[in-house]
Amino acid sequence: MPKVRDRWAIANWKMNLLPSQTAGYLERLRARLQETQVSVAVCPPYPHLPAATAAAAGSRIRIGAQNLSDRLQGAFTGEVSAAMLQDVGVSLVLVGHSERRRLFGEDDALVAAKMRVALEHGLCPVVCVGEGLQERKVGQTQLWLQHQLQPLWEVAQAFPQAPWLIAYEPIWAIGTGEAATPSIAQETIAFIRVQAEQHLGDIAATLSILYGGSVDPGNASPLALQPAIDGFLVGGASLNPEAFAAIAEALGAAEA
């Protein structure tokens, strides 16, 4: 059966670069991606979004946000709503990134609530899950992931036609330079795939599951060759448009 899942390369700039650098970055990225057929998205910080959506107009590059509020509007100082993101031209949004969970206390219930709000507003949520080093060491990776995934299945069942993505990001591999081996990434994402099939049935056939965690041009090719991996959520390496383009190209080459 031919693969029906889209392949994705998503850049997460985190709190890096400046709004004034956004247009130049996207111009360089567009020049490199003309022959690449994978889906590409860039997620800059909030202040960069207007410049990013303008610079990406007319291209294949989609612009995403790094977070959103679970509230629709009101007295929530410092928050950004789904409607605001939609109005500025954003089409996808990261939800539940490990740094949001670890540094800002976002739990599984809040992540699911944000996923629901994103879907209600026509945004494609990229929902992040992953275990820490302690869970990996004691053999509880699958149990940890099941807890994180359970509320997501319930939201997805309420929006069977809406697109969304999962990004598996082992916390012990984020920003450390130590990516999960291709076999570890393959085994874990294959487990997530089985869980999706059990809870979503036929819907799971089009659900892309990405890997994130110290992906760079040097390790992208062996990771991209793993059949369970549908793409990458890229952090530090995505700050250089040529490096990020090389990662997207590795995905395209693995699919060819």
pLDDT tens-digit series, residues 124-144: 999 999 999 889 889 999 999
pLDDT at residue 249 in the model: 96
pLDDT at residue 237 in the model: 97
pLDDT mean values, one per 10 residues, the chain (256 residues)? 80 98 98 89 98 97 98 98 98 97 97 98 98 90 97 97 96 79 96 98 96 95 97 98 97 87
Burial class (CB in 10 A: 0-12, 13-18, 19+), 63: buried
Domains of the chain, by residue range, sit at 8-255
pLDDT at residue 172 in the model: 84
User: Which residue among the candidates 48, 97, 99, 131 is catalytic per the annotation?
Assistant: 97
Query: 8-255 has which fold?
Result: TIM Barrel (3.20.20)
pLDDT at residue 179 in the model: 76
Place of tokens 């709503």: 81
Report d(CA 55, CA 17) in Å as an integer. Answer: 15
Span 29-69, pLDDT tens digits: 999 997 788 999 999 999 999 999 999 999 999 999 999 99
Whether 48 sits among the annotated catalytic residues: the reply is: no
pLDDT at residue 3 in the model: 54
pLDDT at residue 175 in the model: 73
Query: pTM for this structure?
Result: 0.96
pLDDT at residue 1 in the model: 35
User: Which residue among the candidates 99, 106, 135, 169 is catalytic per the annotation?
Assistant: 169
Whether 97 sits among the annotated catalytic residues: the reply is: yes
